[in-house]
Each structure stands twice: as C-alpha cells, then as structure tokens.
Structure 1
Amino acid sequence: MKVKTVLARTVATAFLVTSGSVFAADVTKQQVVEHYADLAHAVFSDSFSTANSLDQAIEAFLADPTAAKFEQVKQKWLASRVPYQQSEVFRFGNAIVDDWEGQLNAWPLDEGLIDYVSSDYQYELGNEGATANIVANTELTIGATKLDVAKITPQLIADLNEVGGSEANVASGYHAIEFLLWGQDLNGTNAGAGERAYTDFVVGKECTNGHCDRRGDYLRAAADLLITDLEWMEKQWSAEETGNYRQELLKDSADNGLRKMLFGMGSLSLGELAGERMKVALEANSTEDEHDCFSDNTHNSHYYNEQGIYNVYTGTYQKADGSKLEGPGIHALVAKNDQQAADEIQQQFGKTRAQVGQLVTVAEKDNQHFDQLIAAGNTQGNALVNETIISLVAQTASIERAAKLIGIDSLNPDTADHEF
C-alpha cells in the first residue's frame, strides 16, 4: 500500500466525520449501539471475503507454484490484514471476540513449531515445542506427550495452538500463514523482510528445504481454518441470524453497549496499541515483539488499528469494495451534548491519526520500517515511535472524556499492566 493511498483514505474519512455530524441533532444512544453492530458486521464481512480471496490465491499457487503466483498470494495476505486490523476495536469490549481472537491473530510466535528456522533461532526459554517443526515430522514429542501430526488438517492446527501450555506455540491464524509465506526475517533491525522462496512449495526435485508437500498442506489448512473462524464471527454480528451475539448486545441496555464501545476503543488505543504493540518492542529494541514481523507490514497494522478506533468513534467505515458505511457514532452523541468538546476531541483524533500515519510514511517513502525504528541507536526512529505512544495516550484521555460527556463514568480502559 502506497502512502498516497493512506492519505486519500484519511481525507475521505475526514469528510465522513463532517457528514456524520448530521446525526447529532436527534441521535439516540440505542441508534449508536445498533450502528456499532452494523459496523462490526461490515468489518468482519470484509475480513471473511478478503480471507476467501487469499485462500483462492493459495489454491491457485499450490496447483502450479510460480514466483508470480507466490507474490500474488502475499499481496492477498496484505490485503486481508486491512479489514481484520480494523476489527480489533471490537475485541476488548466484547468477550466473544476477545476469546475467539487468539486462534486468528496471536503473536509473537515461536515459528520453529511450524517449519524450519535458522541455526541461530531465538525462542522462548522453556518452550518444549519451539523447534518441533510440524512440517518436517509426522510425529511430535512435546514434554511427555506424543502427537500424531501425519495428516495436517484445520482441526489439527487448531488443536496444536498453545501446545505444551506455551502461548508462543502459535500454530494457526494470520501470523502462521505470514511465516509460511515470507519465512523468517533474518535482517534484524536492518532493512528487509523475510525472503522465503516459492520453491519451498514445489513438490518434486525442485523442492527447496524439504517437505514441500507438507508445507503446502499446512498453508492450505491454515487458510481453511481462518475462513471457518471468520465466517463464524461474521454470523455473530449479522442482522439476518437469530440467537447470535448481535441480538444479545441489542437486548442489553444502550448504556452497557456504549460502555463496550468506549472500553474497546480505549483499551486498543492504550494497553494494546501504545503498550503491547509499541512500548514493549521499543523498550526492548526487539524485532520479535513486532506485530507483522515476517512481512514488515507492522506500520500498516498499527495504522488500521487506529483506523478501527476512529471508525467506531465516527460511525464510518470504508469497505473493501470502496463503498462507505455511515451512521451515528460516539461523535454524534458528544456533539449533541457539547459541540465544543466534540470539536476538541475530534482535533485530538486528527493529531493521533496523523502521528500513526507517519509510521506508514517513513516505511513507504523512506524505507524505514517499524523494526528499524525501534533499533537501539536509532534516535530519530525511537523518538517517532515514542511520540506515537504519547499521542495514543492523549487520544485515550479524549475517549475517556467522550465517555463522561455521554454519561459513561469510570471507563478504566485496559492498560495491559503498562505505565504511561
């Protein structure tokens, strides 16, 4: 994704906020919560559809592996991250999403569980599954447990997630697929992402690094599991389904719905994005704690996390097909009560969005990706990430202010045990 694309979307969304203000005069809390459910459904629908496109590209590639088709699969993976990262704002206020998310987006991972790694591979101490290499083996012994992994299926991958009790044993989801597509990023804090060759999937004498048939089976199974999981969550938010989470949410009080919205926004902004995804990596100068570490796509993941927060605040979402979903958001309720405060909160969102956008700018324009920005000795890069953290903390304070203005007290967004 080019910088100009991000800037164009920023401008487009800014317009939507202006148009969204027409909802302020007579908007109700219940309408805002109902539109929140519509937003969630739209985002998860896009996540499902882009994952399907990824799966189709994987099938075409595995049927006839070529360098060109391999690149197409990578581009489909990158495209699938755009809506999914905007879905994470729904995690923290809705237990059904947070409980489900681990199978799709868990990180960081000890990738040696899945496939071959370099001889100097660093993994979590005490993790007995860290070098299990499912691709190369039909039977694993992890601790005292022997596992039959001869047939790689979606269910097997799901069962192997966190095998041996280690959260670093991530067998499924976007990042397992990312590793299979890019391989390890062996550049440290220097420029460059993973460089897996397409021939790692060529069955026969041209196969590189062995077990190409099983590697392909793993890639296919991981994609199939991803689709199954996303389809389930899309249905949880659909107005066409009965007995799903959407109905449960809308039967509850509007104030409880608003609290879930605001808590989700604040927790993603503070504990998760500022804390787990930036502060941890910066303080440790650790590329292992980078989010999309194999593909060097972390700047976009951060950007679309921020976009997801903004979507819920404004009630707007730009769909994968380019169309726009608009409706009453938190902004409309705040403006109804205090227009000046609404303007000030909007200004803070603008500052933070611009700050997070700088991570994209330096990656795409200056070829300084997140793993380079957090390097020890990169004074300017460290400062940019730290300024982004500070801006996210300020944004969280604005979210808490918005909550109070619409009658939601003691929001207490999750800090993930970080101090800011």
Structure 2
Amino acid sequence: MKTFSRTALASAVVSSLFSVNVYATTPTDVVTHYADLAHAVFDDAHQSAQSLNTAIDKFITSPSNKTLNEAKTAWLAARVPYQQSEVFRFGNAVVDDWEGQLNAWPLDEGLIDYVAGDYQYELGNAGAVANIVSNKSVQVGTEKLDVSQITPELLASLNELGGSEANVATGYHAIEFLLWGQDLNGTKSGAGERPYTDFASGSACTNGNCDRRGDYLKAAAELLVSDLAWMEGQWSAKAQDNYRETLLAEPAKNGLRKMLFGMGSLSLGELAGERMKVALEANSTEDEHDCFSDNTHNSHYYNEQGIYNVMTGTYARLDGSKVTGPSLLDLVKEKDAGAAEKIMTDFDNARSKVFALVESAEKNDQHFDQLIAPSNAAGNKLVNNAISALVEQTRSIEKVAATVGVDNLSPDTADHQF
C-alpha cells in the first residue's frame, strides 16, 4: 500500500534546500510565513480527511476487498500532511491541547472492538476490553454508560475513559484499527488483516455487530474531518479572532521561540524519544506509532519533514504546488552563513537517516516493527542512527535559537536521556 512515489521521496532527501532563495526578511516576516505554512498543512490535512471520509462511506455502503483497500489507501494518504503538522504542536497550546483527539497512541484497542484472546492491555484499565462495537452499554467502575447510539460526540466523550490515557476512542489510530484490525505478527513481517466482511450485512457478517462497526468507523471519520476543519480555521488569514491573529499580535521573538521549541521538542523528546527510543529499548511493537498498518516508517519520515519545512520555510502541498517564504534559515544566513551551512548539513543528515527507515520498508520489506526486534542488530542500528541524527539536529535547532536571539530554548526531552 503506497501513498507516494519512491522517486519523489528519494528526490526530497537528496535535494538540499540550502540553495533556496534567500529572502531579505525580519522576524515578523518569518513568524507570519510560519502561520501561512501551518494553514497550508492543516488545510491539506483537512482535505485528505474529507477524501478518507468519502472512501469510508463507499466502503461501508459496498463492503469488498476493493473498497476496503481504497479506504486504507485514503488513510495512508491522509497521514502525509497530518504528520507534517505535528511540528506546530509543541510550541502552540491551541494545537497541543487539541491533538490528542486526533492522534493519541498507543491505545487499548479492546475499548473499540474485538481483539485476540491473548490481548495484552494496560493493567488496571477498566475500559481496555469494553468493546463498544459489541456492547450498547459500558461499565467503568460504578458508572454505566449508554453507548447504544454511536455518534462523533459520544466517541469524543469516551477518550481517556476512567482516567486512562490508553482509552483512545477517536482519531487516526481508531480508524486505522477499524480498517486493518490488530497486527498479530509481532516482529515478523505483516500488518493487520481485518476482513472486509467485518462490515458486511446479514449472514455475510463476520465477528458480529457489523452495522455498529460501520457506525463507529463513520462517526470517527466525521469527527476527524470536523476537528481538522476547526484547526484549519485557527490558522486562516481570512478568519477573525482566531489563533493566527493572537500569534501575530505577540512580539515576533515569542513567535520565533514557539517555532524553535516546537521543532526541537518534536525532534528530541517526541520523535527520537517517545516514537523511536521507547519502542527500540522495549523491543515493543505495542509502542509502534502506526502499529496496525505498519506505516510507522512514513509517519516518522513526515514528522521529520515537518521540522525541515519550518526550518526552510517550505512545504510541498498535496496539489503539487509549493509554499515558500521567509524562514529561520534566512535569518541565520543573514547573521552567519557558515553556521547556516553546518545547520543545514545536520538537517539533511537527520532527514536522510530517518528516510533510511522508509527505504528499509520499501526496498527490503523490513518495517519498523521488524527493525526493533531484539535479534535484529542491523535494524536496531538503523533506528539508533536515526535517533542520533535527530539528537544532533536538535543541537542545531538550539544553535539557530542562539543565532536569532532566543535564549534558554530547552526543548522538551519527554524525560529521555540522550
């Protein structure tokens, strides 16, 4: 299942943006263009979620292997812009406070639907095997919840049910689980293999409650679309009283700090730490990001691409158009061209090392869950190389901060030691 051409990805890795046009610019220009970048990315994420919703409608109406694969392809395509949006998360509370409803993971999927008999879930999580698809009421402690009508509003209310962060009822990964099912292959090759008949009608239905399963998938897709529409509006230059307006009213240095903190925190604590180091050290496929679809290599790559986008002021839109404008790189070049060249070398290296995970999956059928297996020394090394390059990239982000006058950046490490 592909969402992009390998040629395009390879071209993106080898082409350094150090040679892009230098804009005579100010910090205010850079922060304004940052808002433009965010709007373009979230607009693409919203449009791709709409396409996913359309594909899911088609699948639910006419379940077949063909329509299921079309829905899966639409999900994979929707991940491309969304993962590039995460660089806007850590520096901007409006995104960070909202993000969990769309991308929280790992999740106890037994909250949503049937799971294998040996399913391992978070100890003490009363909702871990609630199976909303199969039950019209859910008991959590002394509270009994009516889940007979599956709606976007109901699903949103069930996130972190009973106080557990593993109870994720909405977002990309809930949809991913419903499309793929559990990946029961461990660190061996293969993704989830949910049959399309799990959504069939009448006697063709497998594993029961096919209508409710379809209702759940549809409600989750509709919520994803509405959530992304709201965030697109927060960054739109055409809207009033939104987050963009608040950001641009602040001193430009505050905006630069948010940009750099977001880049550094995604690079270090989140991508190198939570998304790679945790899974590698525990050899745990349960800590793999896109664990049901085996799409983790792409999610990691597009997270890194998002960091690269903000540094260079560039973004390749889904329609093929390019967004360019005043960037942090331009500010650094104006002050120290030599430092800018070294910084971009570190950025290019990080992108190349993370792209090696994509190459492993695409060329060698060695996906992230196989790379982190305890017996896979070569795979472990690929992941460690990516982690090391991300750590070095974060050091360069701190150099950018110092160069443009942002002191004491302290990107979030998520309590990891590097």
Query: TM-score, structure 2 length as denominator?
Result: 0.98
CA distance in 1, matches of 2:160, 2:372: 28
The DSSP-based 3-state class of the residue aligned with 2:270 is helix
| Correspondence for 2:350 | 352
Provide the residue aligned with 2:6 in structure 1: 3
1:39 equivalent to 2:37? Answer yes
Q: Distance in 1 between matches of 2:322 and 2:42?
A: 15
Instruction: Determine helix, strand or coil for the equivalent of 1:365.
Output: helix
Alpha-carbon offset, residue 409 of structure 1: 1.0
Q: Name whichever of 383-392 and 285-294 sits farther off.
A: 383-392
Alignment of 1:380-419 (within 5 A): 380-419=378-417
- Residues in 2 aligned to 1:61 and 1:391: alpha-carbon distance in whole angstroms: 41
Equivalent of 2:144 in 133, 143, 146: 146
Matched, 1:255 2:253: yes
Q: Give the counterpart of 1:172 among 170, 173, 179.
A: 170
- For residue 135 of structure 1, the aligned residue among 113, 133, 136 is 133
Counterpart residue number, 1:233: 231
Q: Which runs of 5+ in 2 are unaligned?
A: none
Amino acid paired to 1:9? A
**Post-superposition offset of 1:367:** 0.3
1:336-370 CA deviation, whole Å, 9 max, x = no partner?
00000000101111111110010000000000000
Instruction: Tell me, in whole angstroms, the C-alpha distance in 2 between the residues paired with 1:402 and 1:139.
Output: 53
TM-fit CA distance, 1:4: 2.4
- Is the contact between residue 191 and residue 369 of structure 1 (CA under 8 Å) also seen in structure 2? yes
Answer whether contact 1:153 1:218 (CA < 8 A) is retained.
Answer: yes
Q: How does 1:4-403 map to 2 (within 5 A)?
A: 4-11=7-14, 14=16, 16-20=17-21, 22-23=22-23, 26-403=24-401
| Aligned-residue offset at 1:387 | 1.2
What's the offset of the Cα at 1:6? 1.1
Unaligned runs of 5+ in 1: none
Q: CA deviation at 1:64?
A: 1.1
In the TM superposition, structure 1's runs of 4+ consecutive aligned residues that sit over 6 Å from their partners are none
Partners of 1:3 and 1:360 within 8 A in 2: no
**TM-superposed deviation, 1:224:** 0.4
Question: Quick check: 2:133–2:212 contact (8 Å CA) kept in 1?
Answer: yes
Deviation at 1:3?
Answer: 2.9
The structural deviation recorded for 1:143 is: 1.1
Q: Supply the RMSD in Å over aligned alpha carbons.
A: 0.8
Structure 1 residues 11-34: Cα deviation after superposition (integer angstroms, max 9, x where no partner): 56x3x54223x21xx210000000
Q: Deviations over 1:266-306 (max 9, x none)?
A: 00000000000000000000000000000000000000000
Q: Does the aligned pair in 2 maintain the 1:17–1:316 contact within 8 Å?
A: no
- Secondary structure of the structure 2 residue equivalent to 1:147: strand
Question: Are the aligned partners of 1:274 and 1:389 in contact in 2 as well (CA < 8 Å)?
Answer: yes
Quote the Cα distance in structure 2 between the aligned partners of 1:339 and 1:261.
Answer: 21
Kindly provide the CA deviation profile for residues 50-94 of structure 1, in whole angstroms up to 9, marking residues without a partner as x.
000000011111111111011000000000000000000000000
**Secondary structure, aligned partner of 1:60:** helix
Q: What is the alpha-carbon distance in structure 2 between the residues aligned to residue 5 and residue 193 of structure 1?
A: 24
| Aligned amino acid, residue 302 of structure 2 | Y
TM-score (norm 1): 0.98
Q: Deviations over 1:181-216 (max 9, x none)?
A: 000000000000000011100111100100000000
Distance in 2 of aligned mates of 1:169 and 1:385: 28
SS of the aligned residue for 2:375 comes to coil
Given that 2:159 and 2:169 are in contact with CA atoms closer than 8 Å, whether structure 1 keeps it comes out as: yes
Letter in 1 for 2:90: F
Length, aligned pairs only? 415
- List per-residue Cα deviations over 1:233-272 (Å, max 9, x = no partner): 0000000000000000000000000000000000000000
Deviation at residue 5 of structure 1 after TM alignment = 2.9
Shift of 1:330: 0.5
Q: Is the 8 A contact 1:39 1:317 kept in 2?
A: yes
**Residue deviations 1:309-347 (CA, integer Å, cap 9, x gap):** 000000000001111000011000000000000001011
Alpha-carbon distance between aligned partners in 2 of 1:381 and 1:180, rounded to the nearest angstrom: 29
